[in-house]
Copies of this chain bind each other. A is one copy, B any other.
Amino acid sequence: MAEYHGLSQIFTTTETSLYNNLFKSPNPPFHSPTALILEISPNPFPQTNHTTTNFVPIIKNNYSFDNLEILDHELETYRSKFNGNGHDNSNNCNVYVAGHVLVYPSYNGFFEKPGLFLDQMFVRKCYRGMKFGKLLFSAVAMQAQKMGMGMVDWLVADWNEETINFYEKMGAHYIPEYRLCKLYGDQLQAFGKKSD
């Protein structure tokens, strides 16, 4: 995803940082950075009791994946360790990761209710055109509703017309006037040293 956005040179995420940021937070899911994982299976999806605070997994049966090996050339790499009852390190379940969405709680001082900020939405290339993006987006919007939040917001690259159209069809407002600013690295560190 960082490659797609031409941001490989600033990419510093590691397995450890993902673990720390997503799983070691003292705050429950959706009150701190939270990933929803999109998983697919050629078999009926195992009924899950792997619910967590605030979230019940969404299961859809209106897809069929009979020839997964032909569709997905990296199938083994993306085999899930989730077997419906938590994690199964034996790697035997026929469940595969097809995408993810990453959100965290946000707050805009102009609005009555807080929201969810959608930081990343990604569907692996071989699973595109199957409306999985819409499914992930819906899951986030429904979750925001369920938690009494008033909005979902996110950023989109201005050259990404296809995606902008997709968002507008979902009912999103495209707001052209704001630009992102970021302070990081040496420029941020300089502030820690300032005495006046």
Contact = CB atoms under 8 A, between A and B. Distances in A.
Label chain A's interface by main secondary structure.
Answer: mixed
Q: How large is the interface on A (under 10, 10 to 19, 20 to 34, 35 or more residues)?
A: 35 or more
A172 B178 contact: no
Given A13-B111, A111-B12, A175 B179 contact: yes
A192 interface: yes
A93 interface: no
Contact of A156 (B13, B62, B178): B178
B184 A111 contact: yes
Given A32-B105, A102-B107, 4 more contacts: A142-B192, A150-B184, A153-B181, A164-B181
Interface of A: 1-2, 7, 10-14, 17, 21, 26-27, 31-33, 60, 62, 102, 104-115, 117, 119-120, 138, 141-142, 144-146, 150-159, 164, 167, 170-184, 186-192, 194, 196
